[in-house]
Structure formats: structure tokens, C-alpha cells
Structure 1
Amino acid sequence: MTKKYLDEVYELDGDAQALYAQWAGSYDAEVTENGYVTPQRCATALREAEADLTAPVLDLGCGTGLGGLALRLAGFKIVDGVDLTPEMIEHARARNIYHTLQVGDALSAMEGQNYQSVAAIGLFSPGHAPATLIDTVLQALPSGGRFVFSLNDHALAEHLYEGRVMAWTDSGAARCLHREHGEHMPARDIGATVYVLQKS
């Protein structure tokens, strides 16, 4: 019987990278059987925010590539991926949908690049990506750049994540183009808010 990881992932208080390395082989099957719809929601939101479909998009925390696949199916022609976990990257590579893939973090992936759009699909959650990563991405984006990301119910309960969003939008440093709460993993009764922010 294949080990299930979803119960662990939402109670994580330690090494997320080690957990994802173990989970890589069964990740797609487990999240799919729980109705994971956030990749499609994020990709649609970014397209509807009038992002340039021909410009490269960075899929941050790309995992096995479910987000990249959704972006490609939504019409984005060039998708690059980055993730901290080599085992996840290998599964993403097998999809043959990415222009480039690298093991690394947001800063290393965005350094020297001029991404107009960045996606962090299913990435933000307590014990995984910190709320300050919202600042890191927006600071690295050019003026007019778009950042699509999701905050699941666990992240929303922390208030730190939405606090970073409000700090950017309330100050006028970014504009909210899209904000919608909806399904994340319906089989687990978990929702998520999808945001698209545009840097001023």
C-alpha cells in the first residue's frame, strides 16, 4: 500500500524538502484523488489578468509539474520551473513541458531574468514557503509584472500571508487584479484564495 502524505504535509513542523523527496513518486496520484484544482484556477486567473501568453512564466515551487501543465494548457507558451527538491524536478522533467528546469529557490531562479509573470501554485502554507517569499517575488518582478499564487485555508488562518498582500496593495506598491476564494482540495474540504498581483 502506498503511503499517504497529505495528513503530514498540513501538520509539517520540520523539513519540508525531505517530505517532498519521499512523496515525489506518489504526489500526483494522491493530490489528484483529492480533487486538487488550484493549478487550473491559478492558470486561468493569470490568463484572465491579461498576462502575455508568449512571455516566459516562472513556475516557482514547480514540484512534479502540475502547475506547469495547467499553465501550458491555459495557453502560456514558455514555462520555466524551479523547485528545492531534486526528486520533484525529475518528475517535472518527465512531462516535457518546461523550457528550463532547475533545483533552487526564487532568488536564484529570478536573478538575471526578466520574468513578466511568476506563479506560486499551492506553494504557500505554514511550514512550507514563508510569507516573506511574497515580498521576495514582488521585489524581483519588473514594474507591471504579475504574480499569481494561492493561499490555502491553512495559510489564510495564519494571517501573515494576507498581511504581506495587504502591505503591498495598501501602499500602492502592487495592485490586486484578481482575488477569489474557491476549492483547493474538495475531497479534504480545503479551500484556497487565488490572487493575481501586479507590481506598480
Structure 2
Amino acid sequence: MVDDNENLSSVYGAEDADATRTAYEGWADGYDAENLGNGYRVPGIGTAMIARHVQRDAGPIYDAACGTGIIGGMLELLGYENIVGSDLSPAMLKFAGSPKPYSRVYEHDLGELLPEGDNKYAAVTCFGSLGPGHAPPRCMDEFVRITKPGGILFSTPAQRHIHSRS
């Protein structure tokens, strides 16, 4: 486990979407280097779960709370196409769109209804974002709504200690 740092404390201490957005806006530039350097394993494990259970030609994938685009980039390397991402933070989305693993990215608060059609996605991901100040539990209804029959929803909660050191 990695001790909390100022960035993690501000993100997980956020009480609403505005505070969460502000925290991520200030962290976007060093987010990947800091988290991956501290042993954050969720992107790799999450991508492996998707690769195991979702065929590359199954249809589009929706990456909710995509952040800087780590999941989208890994999926692209594995040959997945038509990945859509959304995030609360415009600064994080600037990284997600460059290089461009996503066919489309947009700013979205997961506490609001998704501007996506019913039964559209072969898979929906929301890694490390479910919890207070982040994606509220009611967003799961929206994830289910946009997932095709037979599609898969992949998710992990937002929690302070999802990092580990080897």
C-alpha cells in the first residue's frame, strides 16, 4: 500500500462533483506518472478482464470516468476500436484525447443521465470511480441501460488504497 498523498487526499476527500473536478484539474498533468509509479494496478487488471471477456469485434466500448485515457490506450494496443470515453475533468480529457485511442470523448458528470442510446455498448467500464464525490451508485442504472443485452459491465470502486508496491 502507498501512503495517502496530497492529490489522493483531495480527490477522495471531495464531497461533490465540483470539488472532485477541481481536484482532478490540478492533478491531471502528473496523474499517470504518479499513480503508475506508485503501483496503481487497476488499469492493467481492468484491461485484462475486458480482453478476456469481450471480443474485439463485439461492438463499441464506453469508458466512464476515463480520466487520462489509460484504459482506452491499453485497449487500442490490443486492437479494440470504437471506444468512447467521458470524464468529469476537462484537463484529464485533454490527455485522454492525445494520442487518440478514443473515437469520441466528452465531459460528463456521472451523477447525471448519460447522453447515450439504450443497448448501444458491448462493454461499459468504470474503473476506480464509484463512490462519494465521484460516480454515485445511481450511475449503475445508466450503465446497464446503455449496455447491449449480453454485454458486460466492468467496475471497481473509488477507494483510497487501491495502490500497491511490489
Under TM normalisation by the shorter chain, which class is it?
0.7 to 0.9
TM-score by length of 1: 0.69
Contact 2:118 2:148 in 1 (8 A): no
Q: Unaligned regions of 5+ residues in structure 1, if any? A: 155-182, 190-200
Structure 1 pair 5/153, CA: closer, same or farther in 2 (3 Å)? closer
Please name the residue that 1:18 is paired with: 22
Say whether 1:43 aligns with 2:47.
yes
Q: Deviations over 1:148-173 (max 9, x none)?
A: 1112556xxxxxxxxxxxxxxxxxxx
Q: Unaligned regions of 5+ residues in structure 2, if any? A: none
1:83-122 correspondence runs (5 A): 83-105=87-109, 107-111=113-117, 114-122=120-128
Question: Residue 69 of structure 1 is aligned with which of 49, 73, 79?
Answer: 73
Quote the offset at 1:16 in angstroms: 0.6
Question: Residue 184 of structure 1 is aligned with which of 157, 162, 165?
Answer: 162
Contact 1:119 1:149 in 2 (8 A): yes
Say whether 1:53 aligns with 2:59.
no
Contact 1:57 1:115 in 2 (8 A): yes
Q: Deviations over 1:135-157 (max 9, x none)?
A: 22113322112111112556xxx
Quote the offset at 1:60 in angstroms: 0.8
Aligned letter for 1:45? M
Contact 1:82 1:109 in 2 (8 A): no
Identity over aligned residues, as a percent?
28
Question: Residue 126 of structure 1 is aligned with which of 132, 151, 158?
Answer: 132
Distance in 2 (alpha carbons) for counterparts of 1:74 and 1:124: 26
Quote the offset at 1:24 in angstroms: 1.1
Aligned letter for 1:102? Y
Distance in 1 (alpha carbons) for counterparts of 2:29 and 2:159: 25
Quote the offset at 1:20 in angstroms: 0.9
Quote the offset at 1:98 in angstroms: 1.3
Q: Greater CA radius of gyration, 1 or 2?
A: 1
Say whether 1:6 aligns with 2:8.
yes
Say whether 1:142 aligns with 2:120.
no
